[in-house]
Chains A and B, each alone.
Chain A
């Protein structure tokens, strides 16, 4: 149980285009999903916390107009990188927290590797 999927697993896009990444909880309902970014040889940096049916909470320094987050249902959150630039190239990981559970009980997706050319 507690499986989180991400799609796509890998994407290459041209500079200036937008890319959407999906995060799904497959066998549980998640009121909260978290979006992380990981640069090579670095740790996970929390970008935003996504709550179903409400606006996402962004961490300091993360541009909300550039990284659009939508959490339309209890099993799906999306991250859209708008007007992507090469510096947005990174590994994006989502995680989901089951209803009623604490932040420590997050289940991670397999990640999406974004390359912007």
Chain B
């Protein structure tokens, strides 16, 4: 059975700190791994990763995939209170044509 596991489940830090969120997976026919940010409504897309070792970057957020060790990390530097959200990792498994989501990491940034 396809599985995506995120850690930690919850994280509380102070504004300005750097955080690293983890996502490991076990799926058949891996196609891509995606990161989303969810505040109060629908998830918003952050990154899609398909190749190992290539960092994707958007402002203070960056992510990288390791297909050998089957995990990805999402880094947020110089965190701000607006970064407080649930961060979801999802994997697309080729045969299933669907996304399998991890449990999410609830990130809280305190001022």
Contacts and interface: CB of A to CB of B under 8 A. Distances in A.
A63 to B, nearest CB: 19
A68 B13 CA distance: 43
A8 interface: no
B65 interface: no
Contact of A104 (B99, B101, B102): B99
A43 B48 contact: no
B106 A103 contact: no
A108 interface: yes
Contacts of B99: 34, 46, 103-104, 106
Interface string B93-104: 000111111111
Contact of B103 (A34, A42, A103): A42
A104 B42 contact: no
Contacts of B73: none
Interface string B44-84: 10001000000000000000000000000000000000000
Interface string B21-58: 00000000001101000000111100010000000000
Interface of A: 4, 32, 34, 41-46, 49, 93, 102-104, 106, 108-111
Contacts of A44: 43, 88, 90, 101
A45 B4 CA distance: 12
Nearest to B50: A104
A43 B88 contact: yes
Nearest to B93: A103
Contacts of B103: 42-43
Contact of A102 (B41, B42, B97, B102): B97
A41 B102 contact: no
24 contacts: A32-B97, A34-B98, A34-B99, A41-B106, A42-B103, A43-B88, A44-B101, A45-B101, A46-B101, A102-B32, A103-B31, A103-B96, A103-B97, A103-B99, A104-B31, A104-B32, A104-B92, A104-B99, A106-B99, A108-B42, A108-B44, A109-B42, A110-B41, A110-B42
